[in-house]
């Protein structure tokens, strides 16, 4: 809704578009709670948004004098009261807005922050978690980026081939972070947020449907999202998440795995390689039931991924794969080399690795992980793991 409104308002008036969209959903909350949802909720929302836009235009003298004149000069038949909320315009507007926000004139990290907030509805806290940063830093980035949009009066225009090359990587980073926040949520009462995963996949799929953006990186990212999403039902329980090796493979979504295979084959149709190719390949091996050499392939891919782009998450996952091949004791030595004493997942991994070797050390690391995580559900789940280990220790 914000994308469609901005396409007609221009990014200069992005706050107006966001306010109208927000007010529309607020009205829905008020009306639907009293009378129940209408027969066609989507049409209801779009009708209310159109009416609110019309009301705004009537009230706002600045808009009437400065913007409508320009619009009318472009097209006699065009007016804001006839906003096009068709599915095609919805898709086109969001795609165009993704590339408009990811403008090279804005610092790259600020582009991603802005896209996560405007296109994906992220809060400042969620963006801070995605960047492993603090909220004040993110607030400053967002303020500067929005100021730049206003001053430069950026417009949402049809995609041009020359813009795609300079902006697509930032768009993909945004969708990658959006999916990750859904898959490993740190800012919500749920460890997994299916809504964010689904939205990331929808937007990535939109890129594959456009001839200008359907390249190997996009297909690799979509393959990764399909593989990861295929295990969501097996990964979630009422009060936490299930470890990979304890998941019921019968709950894995075979259709999504097949789609992941399809997009991964498309991704490798060219010689181009990216971190998305490597991560999708790792996810592919996780969805196979072949044990012979499986973890060896995964470890090799993690080794290559870390050379391509280092991240603490990938380093910790590599250590888990290392343990599957060489055993927990050697993996503990590998983990010690990472130097991540303030990372909650680091201590969770050490807790897991020590569980069969030294129960007291395992419990100590799990306790440290509890102190370092902000997720209430994670704390609860880790507490249960500690209780199980303590019971096992006391009974032996």
Give the sign of the dihedral formed by CA 246, CA 247, CA 248, CA 249: negative
pLDDT (tens digit, 9 = 90+) per residue, 283-308?
Answer: 999 998 777 789 999 999 999 999 99
Taking the C-alpha atoms of residue 77 and residue 311, their distance in angstroms, rounded to an integer, is 53
Q: Taking a C-beta distance cutoff of 8 angstroms, is the pair 96, 159 a contact?
A: yes
Is residue 368 domain-shared with residue 319, that is, in the same domain?
A: yes
pLDDT (tens digit, 9 = 90+) per residue, 306-357?
Answer: 999 999 999 999 999 999 999 999 999 999 999 999 999 999 999 999 999 9
Spatial CA neighbour of 348 closest among 367, 326, 334: 367
Is residue 278 domain-shared with residue 351, that is, in the same domain?
A: no
Residue 294 lies in a domain: no
Q: Given this model, what pLDDT does residue 332 score?
A: 97
DSSP 258-296: HHHHHHHHHHTTSS---HHHHHHHHHHHHT----TTHHH
Is residue 279 domain-shared with residue 315, that is, in the same domain?
A: no
Is residue 341 domain-shared with residue 269, that is, in the same domain?
A: no
- Number of domains, the chain: 2
pLDDT (tens digit, 9 = 90+) per residue, 89-107?
Answer: 676 777 777 787 777 777 7
Is residue 347 domain-shared with residue 275, that is, in the same domain?
A: no
Is residue 283 domain-shared with residue 347, that is, in the same domain?
A: no
Is residue 375 domain-shared with residue 344, that is, in the same domain?
A: yes
Q: Given this model, what pLDDT does residue 76 score?
A: 44
Residue 383, domain CATH: 1.25.40.10
Is residue 285 domain-shared with residue 315, that is, in the same domain?
A: no
Residue 388 lies in a domain: yes
Spatial CA neighbour of 237 closest among 196, 202, 190, 277: 190
Residue 131 lies in a domain: no
Residue 356 lies in a domain: yes
Task: Give the domain range for residue 370.
Answer: 311-395
Residue 239 lies in a domain: no
Residue 133 lies in a domain: no
């Amino acid at each position: 809704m914000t994308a469609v409104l901005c396409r007609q308002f221009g990014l200069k008036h992005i706050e107006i578009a966001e306010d109208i969209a927000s007010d529309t959903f607020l009205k829905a909350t008020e009306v639907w709670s009293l009378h129940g949802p209408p027969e066609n909720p989507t049409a209801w929302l779009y009708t209310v948004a159109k009416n609110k836009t019309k009301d705004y235009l009537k009230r706002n003298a600045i808009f009437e004098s400065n913007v409508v004149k320009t619009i009318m000069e472009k097209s006699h038949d065009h007016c804001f009261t006839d906003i096009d909320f068709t599915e095609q315009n919805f898709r086109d507007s969001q795609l165009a807005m993704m590339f408009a926000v990811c403008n090279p004139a804005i610092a790259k990290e600020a582009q991603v922050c802005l896209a996560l907030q405007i296109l994906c509805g992220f809060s400042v806290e969620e963006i801070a978690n995605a960047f492993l940063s603090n909220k004040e830093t993110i607030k400053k980035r967002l303020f500067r980026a929005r100021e730049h949009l206003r001053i430069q009066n950026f417009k949402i225009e049809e995609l041009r081939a020359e813009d795609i090359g300079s902006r697509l990587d930032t768009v993909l980073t945004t969708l990658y972070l959006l999916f990750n926040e859904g898959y490993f949520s740190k800012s919500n009462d749920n460890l997994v947020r299916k809504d964010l995963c689904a939205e990331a996949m929808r937007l990535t799929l939109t890129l594959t449907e456009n001839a200008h953006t359907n390249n190997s990186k996009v297909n690799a990212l979509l393959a990764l999202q399909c593989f990861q999403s295929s295990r969501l039902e097996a990964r979630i329980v009422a009060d936490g998440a299930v470890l990979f090796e304890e998941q019921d493979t019968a709950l894995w979504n075979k259709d999504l795995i097949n789609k992941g295979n399809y997009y991964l084959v498309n991704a490798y149709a060219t010689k181009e390689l990216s971190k998305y190719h490597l991560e999708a390949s790792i996810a592919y091996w996780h969805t196979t039931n072949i044990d012979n050499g499986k973890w060896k392939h995964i470890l090799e891919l993690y080794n290559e991924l870390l050379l391509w782009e280092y991240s603490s998450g990938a380093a910790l996952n590599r250590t888990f794969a290392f343990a599957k091949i060489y055993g927990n004791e050697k993996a503990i030595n590998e983990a010690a080399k990472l130097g991540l004493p303030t990372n909650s997942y680091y201590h969770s991994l050490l807790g897991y690795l020590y569980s069969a070797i030294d129960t007291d050390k395992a419990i100590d690391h799990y306790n440290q992980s509890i102190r370092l995580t902000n997720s209430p559900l994670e704390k609860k789940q880790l507490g249960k793991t500690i209780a199980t280990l303590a019971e096992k220790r006391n009974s032996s």
